[in-house]
Structure 1
Amino acid sequence: MRAVPAPKVWVTGLTVGATAVVVALAVQADKGPKPTATATPPSASATATAKPRATESAKPARVPDGSGTGRRIVYSLGQKRVWLVDASEATRRTFTVWPGTVDPDPGSYEVGQRTEDPITGSDGVEIEHVVYFAAKSGVNVAFSNAVDGSSPPPPEAGTQTGGIRMRTGDGSALWAFGTAGTTVTVVE
């Protein structure tokens, strides 16, 4: 009569074999081609509630003409895009945003008050990294991001909101860049 190995031996043998297969596949996968991320500009059919792309184009959109010179934040109303431009005119970061219902007039502004800690936005969403730079028709206009990273809900009819919402990482970058007194240029 033949002895049957104990169940522990079988389990151990199967575990060792499976681990060896996984390691071999991982080594082979590491030697293969790596995927690269590409992004395309948003289409004209994008809706106001659509999320900005998670990755921006490898070739960032050019800073708009007439946006001034020197270290500044540039906000394009038509492109729904922000650029963080350093003193050497290099774009440090650019990203799309979700504008509120009240747009600031084109022109030059300065960052004024800033609120880092979470507060409740006019749309009822908890926001952080609030960077105020303008007011229009009694509505404060500011950059911010939702604490939970969400896009803003569609505003109720007739609601006036001046929040320019962005993704969390972009909000952190703008917060670090947009210190009090930083120029904000708004262009069409």
Structure 2
Amino acid sequence: MRAVPAPKVWVTGLTVGAIAAVVALAVQADKGTKPSAVATARPSVSASPSASALPEPSATAVPDASGTGRRIVYSLGDKRVWLIDASEASRRTFAVWPGTVDPAPGTYAVSLRRGDPTTGSDGVRIEHIVYFTAVDGVNVAFSNAVDGSSPPPAKGTRTGGIRMKTADGSALWTFGETGTKVVVVN
């Protein structure tokens, strides 16, 4: 007579098999293409809708002449950042609040990153600091306020902080490793 395994053995075997299958599928999914999140403006609510309430179709399009390859694109005029992957897909775009000192249009690279919160030159607690250039002794870097605020730059203070919402600061921090190309356009 053949011994029949106990029900606990069957349940354990099935559970281990199911976990192995889920892990294998998760690894395969992680290697595939990733969806991109693109922020879009919401039309404002008004008594008389007009065409101006709709977002411009090109408002979130990656600027022309912004380089190629994996990069961070920063538009001075649009006050917007794009995170572009190696396949030229925009992974994320978001509005920013620049300081009082702007970098010149051109190509830079992330030179230094600082993750721990510190106090910015304007007295605001900031984190996820990604430095990429300096202008006349003022460091220019992306960051977000620890409290999520977007205070206006201090009057009379030269600041190079390019601020963003907390979630966008976290995304840029993850994307902008040391050496990542930063392209500044008008």
Determine whether 1:135 maps to 2:128: no
SS at match of 1:142: strand
1:21-170 alignment, distance < 5 Å: 39-40=42-43, 61-156=60-155, 158-170=156-168
Secondary structure, counterpart of 1:172 in structure 2: helix
Cα distance change of structure 1 residues 178 and 134 upon mapping to structure 2, 3 Å threshold? same
Residue identity in the other structure for 1:136: V
TM-score by length of 1: 0.69
Partner secondary structure for residue 173 of structure 2: helix
Partners of 1:38 and 1:82 in 2: CA distance: 15
How has the CA–CA distance of structure 1 residues 82 and 40 changed in structure 2, closer, same or farther, with 3 Å as cutoff?
A: farther
Offset of residue 155 of structure 1: 1.4
* 2:6 matched residue in structure 1: none
- Cα distance between partner residues in 2 of 1:86 and 1:139: 29
Distance 2:57 2:171 in 1: 18
Give the superposition deviation at 1:159. 1.1
Give % identity. Answer: 70
Cα distance in 1 for partners of 2:101, 2:153 equals 13
Match of 1:173 among 148, 152, 171: 171
Structure 2 residues not aligned, in runs of 5+: 1-39, 45-54
Give the C-alpha shift of residue 39 in structure 1. 1.2
Return the alpha-carbon distance in structure 1 between the equivalents of residues 56 and 127 of structure 2: 26
Any conservation in 1 of the 2:153–2:159 contact (CA below 8 Å)?
no
Q: How far is the alpha carbon of 1:60 from its aligned partner?
A: 6.6
When residues 144 and 133 of structure 1 are mapped into structure 2, their CA distance, relative to the original with a 3 A threshold, is same
Indicate how the Cα distance of structure 1 residues 74 and 172 shifts in structure 2: closer, same or farther if over 3 A, else same.
Answer: same
173-182 or 58-67: which moved more? 58-67
Q: Distance in 1 between matches of 2:161 and 2:56?
A: 25
8 Å Cα contact 2:100/2:153 also seen in 1: no
Q: Give the TM-score, by structure 2 length.
A: 0.69
CA distance in 2, matches of 1:92, 1:104: 23
Q: Distance in 2 between matches of 1:59 and 1:77?
A: 15
Q: Counterpart of 1:114 in 2: which secondary structure?
A: strand
Tell me, in whole angstroms, the C-alpha distance in 2 between the residues paired with 1:177 and 1:74.
Answer: 12
Gaps of 5+ in 1: 1-36, 42-55
Q: Is the 8 A contact 2:133 2:141 kept in 1?
A: yes
Distance 1:95-1:112 versus aligned 2 partners, 3 A rule: same
User: Cα–Cα, structure 1 residues 40 and 89, in superposed 2: closer, same or farther, change >3 Å?
Assistant: farther
Change (3 A) 1:170 1:106: same
Moved over 6 A (4+): 56-60
Larger Rg: 1
Deviation at 1:153, TM superposition (A): 3.3
Letter of the 2:130 counterpart: V
Deviation, structure 1 residue 57: 9.2
**Counterpart contact for 1:60–1:94, Cα < 8 Å:** no
Tell me whether 1:183 sits opposite 2:184 in the alignment. Answer: no
